[in-house]
Amino acid sequence: MKNDFFDYLATARQAALQAGAILRSKFGLSSLHVDKKGRINLVTEADLASEELIRQTILSQYPDHEFLGEESGLSAHSGQPRWIVDPLDGTTNFAQGYPFFSISIALEIEREVVAGVVYDPTHNEMFSAVKQQGAFLNDQPIRVSDHAVLEKALLVTGFPYELRRDPDILLQLFRELIVRARGIRRDGSAALDLCYTACGRFDAFWEVGLHPWDIAAGSLIVQEAGGRITNFSDQPHNLLYPEMLASNSLLHAPILKAIAPHLDQLHSSALLAKPL
Ligand code: IPD
Ligand code: CA
Ligand code: CA
């Protein structure tokens, strides 16, 4: 089975590299076609072209598998292994010419992510992991940081497009942490935020309102790099939770403690009243 996982990983890497070439070729084009999916949520021709290429690459090799892509939805409910794909994580950055975006491809078997890649085509950085086989950046093993004190930590977060439903609760969480940490970044690609946490560039990442395609691959990479992921109530990681904290493990408890006073308000927030 382990060998199969590495075969799947090779397919994911191949698809990510090819999709990365598409994203590079369309990045910065003044003629880039951009549409709106919601009030502020964009989709570009690059998102669609990248997803189509990944879908074809994967399904041509594994025609029986399911494919869940952000742009095309779920292909079929067959009970077969399921690929979970964000063809362009960081669309707002991409459309704005800000070079921080990625491709995220994960494979889930029996509700467990067993292989995943996150590829940053701008910096040619390929993050990858296979379950119980460690995490890698361009074939070099990676580990989370060893910072144990929040005051020395660099954190990263993001905000859902539906933020306007209840901005106050998210700003309260942000406030709790910005006064305790060394700094906080908002970089605009949750998949890369997770991978940067996996390799120690960040010490922890939290966000509310993420989708399975944002986090499936990055979550495995963090865990395989020695990190910890839970929801804000310290329950084990689940792709369907609307909230997540990923950390180097050492900072998990202090961060949960800092946000604990706001949990009741978060869980009764209009932000979570319907699926984000
Ligand atoms: C978004 C990015 C962003 C996060 C948003 C996501 P998209 O994904 O990951 O960092 O804050 O919640 O929706 O739309 O660029 O694929
Ligand atoms: Ca995304
Ligand atoms: Ca996307």
270, 251 contact by CB (below 8 A): no
pTM of the predicted model, to two decimals?
A: 0.97
Report residue 119: phi and psi, to 5°: -115, 130
Residues within a 6 A CB radius of ligand 1: 86, 89-92, 158-160, 188-190, 207, 209-210, 214
The predicted structure's pLDDT at residue 270:
85
Beta carbons within 10 angstroms of residue 48's beta carbon: 17
Q: What is the mean pLDDT of the chain?
A: 95
Distance 61 CA to ligand 1 centre (A): 28
DSSP 236: B
Dump pLDDT digits (tens) for 212-254: 999 999 999 999 999 999 999 999 999 988 899 999 999 999 9
Of ligand 1's listed atoms, the one at least distance from the Cα of 210 is 12
pLDDT at 276 over 70: no
Beta carbons within 10 angstroms of residue 140's beta carbon: 7
pLDDT at 76 over 80: no
